[in-house]
Structure 1
Amino acid sequence: MRRLVYALAAAIGLSVSGAASGQSLSYEVLEFEDLKGWRSDDHDAALKVFLNTCMDMKDPDWSSLCSLAQEQTSARTFFELFFKPVLVEDGDPMLFTGYFEPELNGSLQRTATYRYPLYKKPPEVRNGIQWLSRAQIENGDALSGRGLEIAWIDDPVDVFFLQIQGSGRVKLPDGNYLRVGYGGKNGHDYKSVGQELVRRGVYQPHQVSAQVIRNWVKRNPVAGRRLLQTNPSYVFFREVSRVPADQGPLGAMNRSITTLRSIAVDPKFTPLGAPVWIEKGGSTPMRRLMIAQDTGSAIKGAQRADIFYGTGDYAGRRAGETRDPGRMVVLMPIQRAYALAFEGQDG
């Protein structure tokens, strides 16, 4: 193994200038024997997910590997033969978190039960320009009566957390599903309501979670509404009807992501579509090959990943409990790893 600093960053599609906290960006080329649990993973499952997005990777090295992947009879052999594990670090410790796709109860018509709307983006809202705040939208009538409602939901807290997640499924009264995705926002920065509860002295930082916030708002409906409105950011949606309800939501590559095989990464350091080996610690350790198919506004740094846990309440609980150390290792095309090593020796 070799420690390679600032070596051929441009050639592997990574940004040296994006290193966190002003730290030096470094690369360490590993062997597959260095990956804990590598032999026992389900490589066929990982290859299937890789094939779901690799055709969208335009770089010739990746596109040629995508073609080869479609002809493989042994997934593990394919990864070991054509890739090298590369540990990319920027000086900050690894942090794994989790995310999920919420499932809400809703209706296409407003009723006494379903009365909290999911809105399309109004035509006058422009990206990057501040529009009305959350409080102004919810306390006023700027959106009502304009036919912008996609669906009506039975719980305003569910609407709030759906806006944080950015996509979800709505279960309709007839048992069918409607999938919605991110459609834009009002131009205001996100403000954490959990941090607001800490600031008020209601909870200590370690006590705050999505479920704690949800329960507090339900116990205090009037104060809870005002609490949620301390976050001025408001997200609009779009119907994603082309994605079947039995498939995962669309990720940053505009393809469905897969439960416990897709992760969100910082694309400054990890190419979208690349296989990534994760070694997550904590109370529920995880060793498996994931595919980098998504991004997130809070996912910044070389050793930072958000694990997709799936759809619904159970997935949400697992995602909310995940905040663990470990490491992630990017699998790079072998010719790029060799070029990286060569450049590092010359430097």
Structure 2
Amino acid sequence: MLAWLLRARPRLTALTALSLGGLILGTLSGCSSPPAQTPTAPAAPASAASSPATSPAPEPARVTLLRERSRWVAADWAELPGWGDAALRPAWSALLRGCERPAQGWAQLCQQARALEAQDPPDEATLRFWLIKQLQPYRVEDFQGQSSGLLTGYYEPELPAQRRAQGNFRVPLLSPDPQLRRLTRQQIDTQSPERLARAALAWLEDPLDALVVQIQGSGRLQLTEPDGSTRWVRVAFAGHNDQPYQSIGRWLIQQGELQASEASWPGIKDWVRRNPKQQRELLWRNPRYVFFREEPLPDLKLGPRGAQGVPLTPGHSVAVDRLSVPYGTPLWLDSTEPLSSTPLRRLVMAQDTGSAIVGAVRADFFWGWGREAEAQAGRMKQSLRLWALWPRQDTP
């Protein structure tokens, strides 16, 4: 439940490039570069040495692709849980969007995918056959062979806003400002209203809502203009003040104000309602401040652009560590629904990142926008296994 409250954001920023090349001979430094290949074979059973006559024959060596923070071990399609039963069409749409900015090695396959779509929109059987023919699955794991990781969730908030500060709308969302970018959150919040108005894109009612938009990295505003007209706009990440992110949920737990099970977003809001005089102190515990740019939102069905530079698809786009999985990589995801044991197994696209999405088997699941997306994202903290689907070497 604490997943998106306790992690550092905003997304839509590049992760710090920490090179692990010195640890692994042959690992390439760029995530978009063709990975190094080494054959590996599973360790023989312990009984093999003592009774060779009865031990099974060793498995053939499996090709392994090395990335900076992960290794990919070649797998069979039969190893992907639920692969034969999954609906592929929604993820296919996300794949075609990803082809607007294809990963290295994907340009030709993207041309073929577009041609397949243009001839006649393919049915499920055709899509499955095409993917199996063109792609090789690889189990994603860390360098110690651990293939289990963490899946969290995120979403795009929807909020009412005013173009000018008036009534209860007194909390600004700011555009980048060279002078303000050198300040902490506390220093920015205590600037004069006139100074903030010069950089304000819009004004919200609740400081906690403004923090949510900053944590998620984008937001949808139902914006009321000075003439009384209303329209939808998007505010997208445009930078931050280079201060470290600190989780207010974790701080409340450390202070003994909330139990870990209580530090959900509703729980934090309830704590603020009971302790209104401490709201600013709580917010100032996180010195990072995020700035935005305004974008038109002509199509309410279109998601925000992720770090790959393409619109995210609810339920089929994920944020990843780009040093483990390059943007534009199809992934087979094996996890469970939030707060349940219902399997969550589907094809998704690596199209975004976040400053806390770090590690070999680590992903953040984009739920979309609205209250249901907020609820699902806020309670998602699931075990995860991943398979990367990469073009076969013999693909023409």
TM-score range for the pair, normalised by the shorter chain length = 0.7 to 0.9
Aligned residue pairs total 322
Secondary structure in 2 aligned to 1:318?
helix
Look up the match of 1:137. 188
Partners of 1:214 and 1:336 lie apart in 2 by 55
**8 Å contact 2:235–2:293 — kept in the other structure?**
yes
Residues 1:49 and 2:94 aligned together:
yes
Partners of 1:121 and 1:179 lie apart in 2 by 16
How far residue 94 of structure 1 moved from its aligned partner, in angstroms, is 1.0
How far residue 9 of structure 1 moved from its aligned partner, in angstroms, is 5.0
**8 Å contact 1:12–1:336 — kept in the other structure?**
no
Partners of 2:194 and 2:109 lie apart in 1 by 48
TM-score, normalising length from structure 1?
Answer: 0.86
How far residue 142 of structure 1 moved from its aligned partner, in angstroms, is 8.2
Partners of 2:305 and 2:295 lie apart in 1 by 9
Cα distance change, pair 243–75 in 1 and its aligned pair in 2 (3 A): farther
Counterpart of 1:156 (choices 204, 207, 217) is: 207
Look up the match of 1:340. none
CA RMSD, Structure 1 to Structure 2 (Å): 2.3
Look up the match of 2:315. 260
Partners of 1:7 and 1:233 lie apart in 2 by 37
Counterpart of 2:386 (choices 311, 324, 328) is: 328
Secondary structure in 2 aligned to 1:240?
strand
How far residue 17 of structure 1 moved from its aligned partner, in angstroms, is 7.4
Residues 1:40 and 2:85 aligned together:
yes
Alignment of 1:79-158 (within 5 A): 79-90=131-142, 91=144, 92=146, 93-124=148-179, 131-141=182-192, 144=195, 147-158=198-209
Cα distance change, pair 251–143 in 1 and its aligned pair in 2 (3 A): farther
What is the aligned-residue identity percentage?
36
**8 Å contact 1:100–1:309 — kept in the other structure?**
yes
Look up the match of 1:219. 274
Residues 224-252 of structure 1: per-residue CA shift (max 9 Å, x gap): 22111111111111112267433101100
Structure whose alpha-carbon radius of gyration is higher: 2
Look up the match of 1:76. 128
**8 Å contact 1:107–1:114 — kept in the other structure?**
yes
Partners of 1:306 and 1:169 lie apart in 2 by 20
Partners of 1:83 and 1:146 lie apart in 2 by 52
Alignment of 1:126-205 (within 5 A): 131-141=182-192, 144=195, 147-173=198-224, 174-205=229-260
Alignment of 1:300-319 (within 5 A): 300-319=358-377
How far residue 218 of structure 1 moved from its aligned partner, in angstroms, is 2.7
Cα distance change, pair 312–219 in 1 and its aligned pair in 2 (3 A): farther
Look up the match of 1:295. 353
Look up the match of 1:248. 303
- Stretches of structure 2 that go unaligned for 5 or more consecutive residues are 1-23, 37-64, 117-121
- Stretches of structure 1 that go unaligned for 5 or more consecutive residues are 1-5, 20-24, 338-347
How far residue 214 of structure 1 moved from its aligned partner, in angstroms, is 2.1
**8 Å contact 2:172–2:196 — kept in the other structure?**
no
Look up the match of 1:341. none
Secondary structure in 2 aligned to 1:255?
coil
Look up the match of 1:344. none
Secondary structure in 2 aligned to 1:239?
strand
Secondary structure in 2 aligned to 1:310?
strand
Cα distance change, pair 229–75 in 1 and its aligned pair in 2 (3 A): same
Aligned amino acid, residue 383 of structure 2: P
Residues 266-289 of structure 1: per-residue CA shift (max 9 Å, x gap): 111111011000011361421100
TM-score, normalising length from structure 2?
Answer: 0.76
Residues 259-308 of structure 1: per-residue CA shift (max 9 Å, x gap): 00000001111110110000113614211000100011111111000000
Partners of 1:245 and 1:310 lie apart in 2 by 11
Greater shift, 50-59 or 93-102, is seen at 50-59
Partners of 1:157 and 1:151 lie apart in 2 by 15
**8 Å contact 2:96–2:114 — kept in the other structure?**
yes
Secondary structure in 1 aligned to 2:372?
helix
